[in-house]
Amino acid sequence: MTRLQRRYSNSGCYHIMLRGNERKNIFLDDEDRQRFINFVNKKQTDNKLILYAYCLMDNHVHLALKDTDNDISILMKGIATSYAMHFNKKYGRVGHVFQGRYRSEVIENDRSLLAVIRYIHQNPQKAFLVQRAEQYQWSSYQWYLNQNREGATIVDVLYILKMFAEDQKDAINEFIKFSNENDNDTNLYMDDNEGEGTIRTIQDGKVYLHKYLNQNWLEMSLDMIKTDKNFRTSVIRNLRTNTNLSVVSIAKLLGINRGMVERVRS
């Protein structure tokens, strides 16, 4: 199948996502995460890109950046190759670390850039890893709140904050308000779980389940999965039909006995 030609941004800005091969984890410890950030930072040091936001999840990465040399494909290949070599050497493995080429969305204006940054920073909340964005260690949100912390220079926060206000304190307060708003414009960013049948991890399952319950069972609490048979059956059937989660994973996700899952056919 012929690859689709990538769109190039007139502004030089992109939303980038790298995903683990077969949706497997690409970060197994904090040293891995720091190493990936170092590889990105190296490209900044070479004056080839400007980073506005990042979020490192277990099995994928989001970046909002500006390519200053119109060399985005070469830049991302360099970052991915460097990290893959580190990962394979460290864990004594061979083969692909990332799932195909990186995915990209062009960002052509400031409104879209801000929306993508908000979306990236909200990823850990949507995956139920934290309650607030500032609680997550491996995203750039922390640098927007305190530009004086060691390591803050990796992200060009001042460019973004000046879109909110000239006074830095006011800008941070407005940025926080904006970041906490619901992000409803799905045209501005890519869906992490595009292709529901590719959901194989409990983390991805949590995101999918949250969306499914909000769309179909607003009146029900997940706690009722153990007591309401009709509710439980519908949820299990949906997970068995629309995801690749194993019986054991579905049972862990729902907090029920695996036998309850096995009795429901997709």
Give the Cα separation of 169 and 194 in Å (integer).
Answer: 38
Give the Cα separation of 44 and 153 in Å (integer).
Answer: 10
Give the Cα separation of 255 and 220 in Å (integer).
Answer: 16
DSSP per position, 161-197: HTTT-SSHHHHHHHHHHHHHS----GGGS--TT-SGG
Q: Rg of the chain's alpha carbons, rounded to an integer?
A: 20
Angle between helices 30-45 and 72-91 (to 10 degrees): 150
Give the Cα separation of 258 and 266 in Å (integer).
Answer: 15
Going residue by residue through the chain, which has 266 residues, state the pLDDT in tens, using 9 for 90 and above.
Answer: 334 456 678 888 999 999 998 778 899 999 999 999 999 998 887 777 899 999 999 899 999 999 888 788 889 999 999 999 999 999 998 889 998 788 888 998 999 999 999 999 999 988 888 889 999 999 999 999 987 666 567 899 999 999 999 999 999 999 999 999 876 554 444 555 444 446 777 878 888 888 778 777 877 788 888 888 888 998 998 888 778 788 888 999 999 998 899 888 75
- Token pair, residue 44, equals 């900044």
Scanning the structure block, which residue is given the tokens 């683990």? 20
- What pLDDT sits at residue 151? 58
